[in-house]
């Protein structure tokens, strides 16, 4: 049955934007330098958070129990995530500058596994001797995984938030409070980071509370979907104007609201794309697999051997095929199991 929205297409578009954006940011190739400012991966990530606010709230509301809700969330998130973490930990030993024996005796390997299996990628993002290459800008294994701990945080927050909101006569008011607190948290830490010249403050600002503003807009979109559908065409132009103004001013006060309205408007205004994922929902797969694929290609010399353009095309095709195979051979099968 056809969906009434095109969230699947939007998620794919955001994931593909990250795939292309990281191609130009991660690879230290002079040919890519002019393209670094074109693909804004931050917009994709925050767009994901808006969609998550809508879909995770919907998932909780449609679940028969709290156990059913968490089971569905675990089945969607864990299979591909565990696969990419474990495969990278053991499979990338062949690319390490260490010998096989030294690699598997290194505590860094096991710290990587422990941190990443607990969604704490930031504690140990690298493997011993892997991706230490002049064409790669950092040694992290998978630069996309940092957002997944935030997704898990959203999963944990939603049952508490929805129960509290349902008891309130004014859910919109409390969502507005959550939005305001998240904006204050993020902007406050970012300004403090500049004043103290402490990069850790900027890092902390981009954790769960800082992105609750985007998530809250998505939640509001679900809880007040009927109202949004009535007024969405009146809201879109002011949202675009606010978004552009704040982008030019380099601030992020009303941007979560404006960007959230734009994302939700697109979800219900492109009906031709409503059934986009009928052949496979590959957005999650391409998002979590693309980083290691790109870095493997750079380390093994494929970019220098084949040429920049052919290698870039091969990279995109490889990522899409991996996502498609992951969906049909793993993710879909786990979701369908009872």
Q: pLDDT tens, 12-41?
A: 999 999 999 999 888 888 888 888 778 889
| 131-138 mean pLDDT | 88
Give the global pTM.
0.93
* pLDDT value of position 232: 95
For residue 66, report the phi and psi dihedrals to the nearest 5 degrees: -65, -35
On whether the CB atoms of residues 103 and 96 are closer than 8 A, the answer is yes
| Whether residue 219 has pLDDT greater than 90 | yes
Higher pLDDT residue, 277 or 22? 22
What's the token pair of residue 184? 């204050």
* pLDDT value of position 51: 97
70-83 burial, b for 16+ CB within 10 Å, e for fewer?
Answer: eebbeebbebbbeb
Q: pLDDT tens, 45-72?
A: 999 999 999 999 999 999 999 999 999 9
Helix or strand run (H / E) with residue 107: helix 107-117
Q: pLDDT tens, 157-207?
A: 999 999 999 888 899 999 999 999 999 999 998 888 888 887 788 888 888
Q: What is the separation of C-alpha 240 from the centre of its chain, rounded to a whole number of angstroms? A: 23
Q: What is the DSSP letter of 122?
A: G
SS3 170: coil
| Whether residue 214 has pLDDT greater than 90 | yes
């Amino acid at each position: 049955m056809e969906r009434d929205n095109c969230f699947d297409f939007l998620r794919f578009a955001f994931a593909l934007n990250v795939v292309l954006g990281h191609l130009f940011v991660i690879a230290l190739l002079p040919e890519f330098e002019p393209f670094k400012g074109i693909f804004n991966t931050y917009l994709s990530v925050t767009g994901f958070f808006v969609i998550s606010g809508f879909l995770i709230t919907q998932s909780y509301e449609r679940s028969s129990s709290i156990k059913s809700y968490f089971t569905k969330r675990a089945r969607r998130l864990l299979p591909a995530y565990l696969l990419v973490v474990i495969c990278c930990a053991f499979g990338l030993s062949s690319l390490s500058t260490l010998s096989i024996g030294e690699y598997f005796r290194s505590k860094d390997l096991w710290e990587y596994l422990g941190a990443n299996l607990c969604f704490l990628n930031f504690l140990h993002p690298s493997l011993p001797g892997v991706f230490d290459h002049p064409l790669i800008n950092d040694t992290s294994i998978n630069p996309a995984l940092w957002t997944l701990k935030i997704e898990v945080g959203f999963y944990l927050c939603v049952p508490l938030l929805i129960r509290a909101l349902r008891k309130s006569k004014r859910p919109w008011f409390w969502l507005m409070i959550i939005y305001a607190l998240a904006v204050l948290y993020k902007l406050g830490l970012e300004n403090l980071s500049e004043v103290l010249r402490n990069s850790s403050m900027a890092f902390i600002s981009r954790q769960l509370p800082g992105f609750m503003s985007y998530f809250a807009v998505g939640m509001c979109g679900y809880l007040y979907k009927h109202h949004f559908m009535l007024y969405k065409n009146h809201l879109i132009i002011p949202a675009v104007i606010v978004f552009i103004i704040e982008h030019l001013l380099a601030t992020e006060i009303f941007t979560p609201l404006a960007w959230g309205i734009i994302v939700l408007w697109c979800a219900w205004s492109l009906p031709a794309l409503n059934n986009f994922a009928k052949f496979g929902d590959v957005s999650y797969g391409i998002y979590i697999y693309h980083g290691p694929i790109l870095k493997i290609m750079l380390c093994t010399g494929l970019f220098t051997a084949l040429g920049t353009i052919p290698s870039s095309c091969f990279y995109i095709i490889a990522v899409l095929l991996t996502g498609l195979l992951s969906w049909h051979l793993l993710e879909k099968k786990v979701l369908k199991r009872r």
